[in-house]
Amino acid sequence: MCSASPLPHRGSRSWWLTGGLPAHATRTRWSDGPTDEFMWIHAAYETLSDPDKRTEYDREILVANQRWRSFHSS
């Protein structure tokens, strides 16, 4: 049996908060405090973990994709 703790599950909150990086990498990478990248990841987690915000996000992506396709099919 392995005594090391398992890595956080890819969809877990701790995985998103660390950017999917091992603990030693996050200490090095974000030792200066919050960065733009961390704030972006946090905002993404907040959006994707809230069902209402996720629905709105998915709707916006769908509309953008439809506009892109209609633009390129003309």
The pLDDT tens digits of the residues spanning 14-64 come to 665 666 555 555 455 545 556 778 888 899 999 999 999 999 999 998 988
- Residue 47, CA distances (Å) to 6, 12, 24, 36 in order: 26, 14, 27, 16
Task: Give pTM, 2 decimals.
Answer: 0.44
Q: What is the chain's length?
A: 74
Q: What is the pLDDT of residue 27?
A: 53
26 class by beta-carbon count within 10 Å (0-12 exposed, 13-18 middle, 19+ buried) = middle
